[in-house]
Structure 1
Amino acid sequence: MLSKALYEYLQQESKAILLAYEALLKHPSDPKAIHALRVSTKKLRAFFSLAKQLPGYSFGTSKHLHTLKLIQKIGGAARDIHLQEMHLKSYERKAKTRFSHAHLLLNTRQTTAIEMLTDTLKHVTLKKIKTLPDRFLKSIRDLDKDRALTDLTRFLDQQRKSIILPASNAHHKIWHEERKKVKSLYYQLTILSEVLPSGYGSKKLIAEMYKGGEILGKWHDTSMLLQYVKQLVSWLKKENINLPVNTHKLVSLIQTDEKEQLALASKQLRKLSVNQAASPQ
């Protein structure tokens, strides 16, 4: 059952990556395809981080993951810019302003990111991803299932214990690292949800990890937008360029939401960052 769960998950995400990749070859600026490729790549990385804990594991994936990570990084930049512009427009409506300089710079960055993604897709191939699930299954055909499940469960516990609650004034990067830990553990728990011991509490823990990932993700997007807008305001002031009407209100609205979202993230991380086995009793 463990081998089946691993194989089916890998098969599912490999198929999603190939579909997104084919869509991007036709339309490199397709935001849905970029997002799909990005998410499935993260899931695949979480999968192989988990698979490395299997006893006797020796399946090589570095080349595949390196190519995927490259596409994910470039495509992710385009996706982040797209989201930033949507969020900025939302705050502009509330502040009754239009920050034209911000949109101009975002559009320029978006164009550059899409051009880079287009060029990258011309020089890489993901054809071997199609056979990845079958090759992986073959590599674990002699797997000791009981020992493997014990090792994987221990790894999940270690991952849970590695999640910490940063200080409220900690740098953005520190909070972002915890966000990545939460998302990775969420994916890994999902992979093993049907094979974990009944007393492990995986369904409740998965729900809490999902919630944590969503809250931290929302905070991350707002925090990145705040950094971008504040930096741009600073640049414009240095160049003695007049700021749009209600710019102060715009920054204030984003800043207020960022603080509130960070407080929610802190509350959720406090639930998750416990120094005990990964079963929410």
Structure 2
Amino acid sequence: MKRSSANNLSYPDLSEFFYDQVKVFRDYYHTTLIKFDRQAIHQMRVAVKKINAVHKLKKSINYPITLRDTFFKLVKDIFFHSGKLRDVQLQHLILNNYKEKLSYDFEHLQHHINKQEKCLLDNLQALVTHIEPTSFDKPSVLEKRVANAKYRVDPERDSIAFIIKKTENISNLLLLIENEDYVHKLRKQVKQLFFVLQFLAHCFPDNVFGKYDLSNLRMIGDRLGQWNDLFMFNLQINNFLGAQNVSFLEDFPEYHALQLLVRENRQSLLHGLDLLIEQELLNLGLLISGNAPNIASSSLPEQ
């Protein structure tokens, strides 16, 4: 991709990012159609997350590229259904890990997950096989008011307000990190902040965020993602146990041990995470204020 400075930027530079992500989505979508590969589904969803994050940024950055409503709805439907399947596919890996840790086979839960995966796979297949291939053509539209003119923007100025809002949201959610409902919201806000900063650095390397080190924010996002995987796995266990008779846990006490270990592992992933996030917010705040114009993320210990 041709990179532009903040002072010499026109709308094609921004639309190219959308087209790149749509191409990634479309490529993995076609792979999914052929073999419903676990990694293809994951990469397809990552592309949608990037599109969605930058689509939100558009509300703050003044540029005229708009995703077509029909395209956006279609992509979000695929994202929703593939997400449910992705969760269950990950639960196979998670369960295998706990089988080794606890030395039990958990065959009843394994059978339950297998049945659920087949049902969700059938649902996704039914959705994607009825989509016309041309539905992903021309995903965005240029607003008529600038269709025949160079449309100059200042991403550094316009994106700062968006980044500030995201950091404020994250800071407020950190106060509620003990509540798991808010950890979900925190994860989404951190992921959106990461993708937007990645987008700004990729498209506008001369932007104030262009050289910001994203490695620690990536690590934070990964830990929140692992926490979410275990949260969804725990929901799966609870749903499974709720469908069993009252004597099931007496006959199979290993499931109680599984619940306890999953809860312990979830809590360990959150331990100290608030301090790491606060440091990232401080770094971004200093960068925005201009007190440290060349700042990059400080080296933070991984936990």
1:79 matched to 2:81:
no
Deviates more, 1:15-24 or 1:263-272: 263-272
TM-score, normalized by length of structure 1?
Answer: 0.85
1:263-278 aligned at under 5 Å gives the runs: 263-273=271-281, 277=285
Residue 39 of structure 1: how far off its partner (Å): 0.9
Q: Which amino acid aligns with 2:113?
A: L
Q: Which amino acid aligns with 1:161?
A: E
Aligned to 2:297: none
Q: Is the CA contact (8 Å cut-off) linking 2:41 and 2:86 kept in structure 1?
A: yes
RMSD: 2.9
1:257 matched to 2:257:
no
The one of 213, 228, 231 equivalent to 2:236 is: 228
Gap change, CA 1:95 and 1:137, over 3 Å in 2? farther
Write the distance in 1 (CA, Å) between the matches of 2:83 and 2:250. Answer: 32
Aligned to 1:112: 119
SS at match of 2:260: helix
Q: Which amino acid aligns with 1:220?
A: N
Aligned to 2:255: 247
Write the distance in 1 (CA, Å) between the matches of 2:143 and 2:13. Answer: 11
Q: Is the CA contact (8 Å cut-off) linking 2:230 and 2:266 kept in structure 1?
A: yes
1:6-85 aligned at under 5 Å gives the runs: 6-27=14-35, 29-55=36-62, 57=64, 59-85=66-92
Residue 197 of structure 1: how far off its partner (Å): 5.4
Q: Is the CA contact (8 Å cut-off) linking 1:38 and 1:76 kept in structure 2?
A: yes
Gap change, CA 1:251 and 1:241, over 3 Å in 2? closer
Q: Is the CA contact (8 Å cut-off) linking 2:220 and 2:277 kept in structure 1?
A: yes
The one of 74, 79, 102 equivalent to 2:109 is: 102
SS at match of 1:89: helix
Aligned to 2:296: none
Structure 1: give runs of 5+ residues left out of the alignment. none
Q: Which amino acid aligns with 1:195?
A: F
SS at match of 2:61: coil
Write the distance in 2 (CA, Å) between the matches of 1:243 and 1:273. Answer: 49
SS at match of 1:279: helix
Write the distance in 1 (CA, Å) between the matches of 2:45 and 2:78. Answer: 8
Residue 228 of structure 1: how far off its partner (Å): 2.5
Residue 205 of structure 1: how far off its partner (Å): 5.2
Post-superposition CA distance 1:128-166 (Å, at most 9, x none) = 534336x459967532323x4411222122222221304
Q: Which amino acid aligns with 1:191?
A: F
Write the distance in 2 (CA, Å) between the matches of 1:123 and 1:231. Answer: 31
Gap change, CA 1:149 and 1:129, over 3 Å in 2? farther
Aligned to 2:178: 169
Could you say which structure has the higher helix fraction?
A: 1
Q: Is the CA contact (8 Å cut-off) linking 1:166 and 1:175 kept in structure 2?
A: no
1:195 matched to 2:204:
yes
Write the distance in 2 (CA, Å) between the matches of 1:192 and 1:275. Answer: 17
Residue 248 of structure 1: how far off its partner (Å): 3.3
Aligned to 2:194: 186
Gap change, CA 1:132 and 1:234, over 3 Å in 2? closer
Q: Which has the higher contact order (CA 8 A, sep 6+)?
A: 1
Post-superposition CA distance 1:170-194 (Å, at most 9, x none) = 1x23111110111111111111115
Q: Is the CA contact (8 Å cut-off) linking 1:233 and 1:243 kept in structure 2?
A: no
Aligned to 2:163: 156
SS at match of 1:59: strand
SS at match of 2:129: helix
Write the distance in 2 (CA, Å) between the matches of 1:33 and 1:69. Answer: 16
SS at match of 2:178: coil
Write the distance in 2 (CA, Å) between the matches of 1:256 and 1:181. Answer: 24
Aligned to 2:298: none
Residue identity (%): 21
Residue 234 of structure 1: how far off its partner (Å): 4.6
Q: Is the CA contact (8 Å cut-off) linking 2:61 and 2:158 kept in structure 1?
A: yes
